A = this chain, B = another copy of it.
Amino acid sequence: MPTALPLLGVLGGMGPAATLDFLAKLQDLSNALRDQDHRPVVTFSASATPDRTAAILGRGESPLPAMQAALMALERAGVSHVAIPCNTAHYWFDDLQAGTGVRLIHIVEATMQDLDLRFDAVATVGLIATTGVVRSGIYHQRLEVSGRRVLTPPDQAAVMGVIDTIKSGRMAEALPRLAQQVRDLRDAGAEAVILGCTELPLCLSHLPAALQALCVDATEALARASLQALAESDAAFAEGVGA
């Protein structure tokens, strides 16, 4: 039985702008009229964390120690739940969860939930994500187990180019390239396209409306799942207090 009200932690900074996008989506989903209507949140923007894709490809040091240190700092600050607005970081999800008593919220599970809510019986799903996410199979496993086919852009280096361009703040340059990748996946048969890297939704509202309608935003899915997990803990807390 929980002994305190739930408090959301965010293991962020991967990258920093994507973390602000996540926090803004949390705020938007709260429909608040005044400060006190919002959820308190503690965010560690651990931007010095080593590159996740480089580590998965065996070309760079593991980000796990840096993420574990940030997670411990969040625990000391008193959080009960932690969201990680970086898809690639979820390669280490089980290691992170094993080392902490706080509940981690899984971005891929959240995205599956949004995909099912928004699209009825989709057979072919596009996935635009880092090379680390694609190689690790964290989306493929969950999509293929339910019999769905996964399409990724043929030029994965071009996807990483878009992501790095967004990370460096050159949105206008990234936008037409991302739009073309979504369009190509649609033309190849994708009925929905998962933006499975939290940098990509930074461009989402600037995509043509027809392409936007195809996209599933992993960042927004994580924000929705986080509020849902907190609401469930609120209820458990209220039940505990009432008992």
Contact = CB atoms under 8 A, between A and B. Distances in A.
A108 to B, nearest CB: 21
A48 interface: yes
A167 B17 contact: no
A169 B29 CA distance: 12
Interface string A151-167: 00000000000001001
A49 B35 contact: yes
A36 B169 CA distance: 14
Interface stretch (A38-46, A97-105, A136-144): A38-46
A176 interface: no
**Copies of this chain assembled into the complex:** 2
Contacts of A167: 33-35
A33 B73 contact: no
A134 B65 CA distance: 47
B77 A168 contact: no
Contacts of A37: 47
A204 interface: no
10 contacts: A15-B34, A15-B38, A17-B27, A20-B24, A35-B167, A36-B50, A40-B46, A42-B42, A73-B77, A76-B78
Interface of A: 13-17, 20, 23-24, 27, 32-51, 73-74, 76-78, 164, 167-169
Contact of A34 (B32, B38, B41, B168): B168
B48 A40 contact: yes
Given A24-B20, A76-B76, A47 B42 contact: no
A35 B47 contact: yes
A76 B23 CA distance: 22
Nearest to A28: B169
Contacts of A45: 23, 38, 40-43
Contact of A38 (B13, B24, B36, B50): B13
A120 to B, nearest CB: 31
Contacts of A23: 16, 20, 45
A197 B20 CA distance: 21
Q: Which 9 A-B pairs have the closest CB atoms?
A: A38-B47, A76-B76, A73-B77, A15-B35, A77-B77, A41-B45, A33-B168, A43-B43, A16-B38
